[in-house]
Amino acid sequence: MKKAIQKAWLFTCILLCAQLTNTFAQTAKDVFGNSEAQILYLGIDFTKAKLIDDANANALDIRERQYAGINDLIINEPKKYDLKSAFHKSYIDHDLGLVARRNDKINAEQIKSTNTSDYHRFKEADITDLVKGFDFGDKKGVGLLFVMEAMSKSEKSAAIWVTLIDMSTKKVLMTERLEGKTGMSFGFRNYWATAIKNVIDNIEKKKYQEWKSKYGA
């Protein structure tokens, strides 16, 4: 009887470990190699973003309303900004609290730029340094973060670093710079949200399979 109970407990432990492995992504391989692995969408970090060649933009309004508006829009219109399809997941949790607190502290005087080189100024090391500034608290698993590098009115495009993070260690598991074109939308929020949609669509149509081949094998 005692051996039977021990075997039952061992089986239960093995089953629980298997379920946890299937549930919580810990590596880039988990994200791209397991369709049921969970990731947490953290939103768009604008703390280092530059708005290039938009003389009429109100920088204070951008910090106070527009950045939050863009982040909310991605969550409130999931069929249009389809992160689940892009990352081939049946469900993606989200928590915008971390980026909201960070974006609220942006110095509005540093948002606008007339220097076109600001559109191509980040390297992977810059993303690693930015992630180190996050306080993930007791969050575990893999977080998905979009880091906005720049929004160029003259180029009609935005540069975004799509980044996967092990939140328990702040290790960047993957980051890649993607560009999204703007459209004919009116208003600051909708104009730049179009570029973000194009990035998400690009992930679904092309980049996910490239990342899966690279990280999921």
- Which string of b and e fits 36-50 if b means at least 16 CB within 10 Å? ebbbbbbbbbbbbbb
Q: Report yes or no: 92 and 39 within 8 Å, Cβ to Cβ.
A: yes
- Determine how β-strand 171-181 pairs with β-strand 157-166: antiparallel
Integer Cα distance of 4 and 1 in angstroms? 5
pLDDT(2) > 60: no
pLDDT for 159: 98
pLDDT(52) > 60: yes
Tokens 């407990």 map to which residue?
9
Integer Cα distance of 108 and 37 in angstroms? 38
Find the helix or strand (DSSP H, E) in which 181 lies: strand 171-181
pLDDT(42) > 60: yes
Tokens 């540093």 map to which residue?
110
Query: What does the longest C-alpha to C-alpha distance in the chain come to?
Result: 79
What pLDDT band is residue 15 in, cutting at 50, 70 and 90? Answer: very low
pLDDT(133) > 70: yes
Q: Give, in degrees to the nearest 5, the angle at Cα 174 between 169 and 179.
A: 135
What pLDDT band is residue 199 in, cutting at 50, 70 and 90? Answer: very high
| Distance of alpha carbon 19 from the chain centroid | 25
pLDDT(151) > 90: yes
Give, in order, the Cα–Cα distances in Å from 89 to each of 23, 77, 147, 187.
11, 17, 21, 31
> Looking at per-residue confidence, does 165 or 21 come out higher?
165
Q: Report yes or no: 146 and 163 within 8 Å, Cβ to Cβ.
A: yes
> Rounded to two decimals, what is the model's pTM?
0.88
Task: Indicate the average pLDDT of the chain.
Answer: 90
Q: Could you give the percent of the chain with pLDDT greater than 70?
A: 88
pLDDT for 23: 47
